[in-house]
Structure 1
Amino acid sequence: MGCDGGTIPKRHELVKGPKKVEKVDKDAELVAQWNYCTLSQEILRRPIVACELGRLYNKDAVIEFLLDKSAEKALGKAASHIKSIKNVTELKLSDNPAWEGDKGNTKGDKHDDLQRARFICPVVGLEMNGRHRFCFLRCCGCVFSERALKEIKAEVCHTCGAAFREDDVIVLNGTKEDVDVLKTRMEERRLRAKLEKKTKKPKAAESVSKPDVSEEAPGPSKVKTGKPEETSLDSREKKNNLAPKSTANESSSGKAGKPLCGATKRSIADSEESEAYKSLFTTHSSAKRSKEESAHWVTHTSYCF
């Protein structure tokens, strides 16, 4: 039985078998990993940073991700382990002098050499194009090939001279096994940092409480030995001697002070001050005027005599 027009369908047209797995082009994958940011999918531009799993990012893209963590971004899963800017290390990359950039093939009529990379290893000279394994140090951020580490074994960075350990060496764009190892190291490192913070807090609290205790604690007595009756009598005599001196100073200066209990108030007219000083007050004889001398209008400072 055929279709319209008398054609006979074949078996592969009617029965659909399993789909063939599409093979990813390795060259395109390497270009995407080593030349583009994992978050923004833009071309890597300095400053370039790397996470603890060995992925490359633009620093601007990481800062934007930390400021706006929206669930709509599908690429945010690749950077879900980045909690702060401290989880990222800025890389110190050495430029490749043979790299021409995008100027070599502007019209599209020239072959693109995918083996040529922007950066190289400063020790061995290998290009960082994904064909060779590269790594960086968390302590200083220097980048060089893994071959340089194996050939020149040292506990100090080959470029800047900073000391490092095995945990500080992180492989860039490694395999799944490398990523699993780096993930376990990252978790152990973060747990260790949390425990150190917890141990520092009680120590800080103890250091704050120690000076308070020392102030309240009774120390060695500094009181001079002697009879208590003699000391009390001496203190009373000193107080009695100081009291009349203070009253005498106040009366000689002429300034108004607090009157002592039982002391009588004296008028300014009876005091021994000068006449010019006494004339300032209303109790002086010059202030008392007769009715003829007083005005017929009332001021705001009227006096009733």
Structure 2
Amino acid sequence: MGCDGGTIPKRHELVKGPKKVEKVDKNAELVAQWNYCTLSQEILRRPIVACELGRLYNKDAVIEFLLDKSNEKALGQAASHIKSIKNVTELKLSDNPAWSGDKGNTKGDKYDDLQRARFICPVVGLEMNGRHRFCFLRCCGCVFSERALKEIKAEVCHTCGVPFQEDDVIVLNGNKEDVDVLKKRLEDRRLKMKLEKKSKKSKAVESASKPDVTEESPGPSKVKGGKYEETSLNSREKKLSSTQKSTGTNGSSSGKISKSSSGTTKRSIADSEESEAYKSIFTTHSSAKRSKEESSNWVTHTSYCF
């Protein structure tokens, strides 16, 4: 049963049993979620943004992902719901005064406190290290602890005063149940936006297709020359007939109204009630009676252009 050299094998070396599931260190998982970008796996640095599912990213990594979508990586699936830069919100984080950062040179003789975080809640003072639930407001980007929002209930942001609703509160790095709720909210919000866009387009098409109902009354400039002249002549004839009725039909006493053989009466244009501009086109007007000196001494019968 032994091998060369007198060694005796043990049972676990000969019999293969089920593999043990490797347990993930919770501290390492929290550090990866709260200190590193979900997309590029680099250390989070300002400006830091968060998606509508509560994941943290570097803004530069999101822009590079949107510009170059040819990279089909496993990490790209975490940001597949990000279609444009409008789908992420830039966070307004409060620095932790007790965090020294990478100033200390660790050579193995220094204890690194993993519970110490870079950012804290500006209301309660809890550190954003994953031990406490944090959330941000989608309308303004301010970050608070969930305890602060529960203890100090308000309808406006605690720092900037922007009003918000319950749907605007998004949990950062939440559990599976939180992510499912946020996914449902995201789908409902995008569906609502699509319906609003369709309704706006349909209204715009209807307004463009409808003709103008109000029509302006046609003025003298919109009427053809023949029709306008006919209406003006009719009005003048009516005026002449009214003046004839008022003055009477006795042409011998006035000397200006004469009866023709057909029985119709004629009246001089000079005595009519028309304007001076209209009277000036007739030879009976005073402007037509000019002296020889005032009148021109040449007449053009035919004009030729050479």
Q: Specify whether residues 231 and 185 from structure 1 end up closer, same or farther in structure 2 by C-alpha distance, changes over 3 A only.
A: same
Q: Aligned equivalents of 2:206 and 2:304: distance in 1?
A: 61
Establish whether residue 12 from structure 1 lines up as the match of residue 4 from structure 2.
no
- Is it true that 1:214 corresponds to 2:215 in the alignment? no
- Three-state SS of the structure 1 residue aligned to 2:144 is strand
Letter in 1 for 2:230: E
> Per-residue deviation at 1:229?
3.1
Q: Counterpart in 2 of 1:38?
A: 38
Alignment of 1:220-235 (within 5 A): 220=217, 222=219, 229=230, 231=232
Q: CA deviation at 1:109?
A: 2.2
Conserved in 2, the CA contact under 8 Å of 1:117 and 1:127? yes
1:80 aligns with 2:119: no
Q: Is the 8 A contact 1:105 1:111 kept in 2?
A: no
Instruction: Call closer, same or farther: CA 1:231–1:38 in 2, change over 3 Å.
Output: same
Please, what TM-score do these two structures have when normalized by structure 2? 0.72
Structure 2 CA distance, aligned partners of 1:229 and 1:9? Answer: 127
SS in 1 for 2:102: helix
Matches within 5 A, 1:124-139: 124-139=124-139
Compared with structure 1, are the counterparts of its residues 263 and 30 closer, same or farther at alpha carbon in structure 2 (3 Å cutoff)?
same
Count residues in correspondence: 242
Identical columns (%): 81
Partner secondary structure for residue 231 of structure 1: helix
Q: 2:109 corresponds to which residue?
A: 109
Cα deviation, 1:93-146, whole Å, max 9, x if unaligned, reads 011111111112443420001111111000000010111000000000000000
Q: 2:5 & 2:91 partners in 1: Cα distance?
A: 68
Cα distance change, pair 10–139 in 1 and its aligned pair in 2 (3 A): same
Q: Give SS of 1:103's match.
A: coil
Counterpart in 2 of 1:265? Answer: 304
1:34·1:129 contact (CA, 8 Å) conserved in 2? yes
Is contact 1:105-1:112 (8 Å) kept? no
| In 2, Cα distance between equivalents of 1:158 and 1:75 | 35
What residue is the counterpart of 1:156 in the other structure? 156
CA distance in structure 1 between the partners assigned to 2:24 and 2:38 by the alignment: 18
What residue identity is the alignment partner of 1:265? Answer: Y
Structure 1 position 227, deviation (Å):
9.1
Secondary structure (helix, strand or coil) at the match of 2:136 reads strand
Which residue in the other structure is 1:181 paired with?
181
1:214 Cα deviation from its structure 2 partner = 1.4
Paired residue for 1:23?
A: 23
- Post-superposition Cα deviations, 1:15-68, rounded to whole Å, max 9, x if no partner, equal 110011111111111111001100111111110000000000000000000000
Q: Distance in 2 between matches of 1:202 and 1:57?
A: 38
Quote the residue 1:3 is aligned against. 3
1:170 is aligned to 170
User: Compared with structure 1, are the counterparts of its residues 135 and 230 closer, same or farther at alpha carbon in structure 2 (3 Å cutoff)?
Assistant: closer
Q: Structure 2: which amino acid aligns with 1:94?
A: S
TM-score (normalizing by structure 1): 0.72
For 1:67 and 1:147, how far apart are their aligned partners in 2? 38
Aligned in 2, Cα 1:228/1:178: closer, same or farther, shift over 3 Å? same
Compute the displacement of 1:233 (Å): 8.9
Distance 1:218 1:266, change over 3 A: closer
Give the Cα–Cα distance (whole angstroms) in 2 for the partners of residues 187 and 208 of structure 1. Answer: 32
The alpha carbon displacement at 1:232 in A equals 6.1
**Structure 1 residue 203 displacement after superposition:** 1.4
Q: Distance in 2 between matches of 1:109 and 1:136?
A: 37
The structural deviation recorded for 1:6 is 4.2
| Uncovered stretches (5+) of structure 2, i.e. residues with no partner | 236-277, 282-295
